[in-house]
Amino acid sequence: MSRVAVVTGGARRIGAAIARQLHATGFDIALHYRSSQTDAERLRDELCALRAGSCELFAADLGDLAHVNALAQALVSQYPRIDLLVNNASGFEPTPIRGCTPEQFDQMLGANLRGPYFLIQGLLPALRDGASIVNLLDVHIERPLRDYNAYGAAKAGLASLTRSLALELGPAVRVNGVAPGAILWPEDEAAYDAETRKRTIAQTPLARLGEPSDIARTVAFLACEAPFITGQVIVVDGGRGLAS
């Protein structure tokens, strides 16, 4: 029987790269998306063309607790055992404290902390001995982005949850995090003008921007090749944090 990986926010960008990498490693993919249905269907068809029946789609708004609970129930019903959960889905928007509303604050916490928390809770019956959870975090937990305080607080909470659950769920389930640095998504190339690229690369010891595949390979490593690693956050930023 194939191993099963749940990837939230898996239709595009880093999530899609993670899904492809895990699929190539041999996982069947339960691909969650919120609104990117066309992208999700395209990726499902791509993966199933490589291995029939190896990817299923699940739609849910992880900021809505009722959706989270329904998603967990659907996943556990379809997959009695889940080997890997990748909490990749995220909300990201500025919330300057002088103007942030309770609704905006709740939205950031819902997407980035409450959703992953209760999804993990709902999937526990299927996350049994040898399973793994990987939470996608952010280097800006340690180096805050101006005006993104609610997002940063939520991701910091998810980092703390990562360590706490490593204690609580071990030895059956390992829990780790991956904190991406500057990642150049293909559709975002226009956002990096020549001067921004030059400045960012100059601040990075490995002298390039990251790519989604850098994150995907790190997730796959934690899932498949790190049986004695838990409660850790791996920063994937080309060393830029050392030079900041």
CA–CA gap between residue 29 and residue 239 (Å, rounded): 31
Active-site position among 79, 117, 148, 151: 151
Tell me whether residue 117 is one of the annotated catalytic residues. no
Token pair for 239: 């060393």
Specify which residues 4 forms β-bridges with: 28
Element (H, E) at 239: none
Q: Are 3 and 83 in contact (CB under 8 A)?
A: yes
Rounded CA separation 236/31 (Å): 23
Task: Find the DSSP H helices in 26-174.
Answer: 37-50, 65-78, 102-109, 115-123, 149-169
CA nearest to 118, candidates 151, 85, 163: 85
Q: What is the phi-psi region of residue 9: left when phi exceeds 0, alpha when psi lies from -120 to 50, beta otherwise?
A: left
DSSP states along 194-209 = HHHHHHHHHT-TT-S-
Distance CA 175, CA 74 (A): 22
Q: Give the residue numbers annotated as catalytic, written as ranges.
A: 151
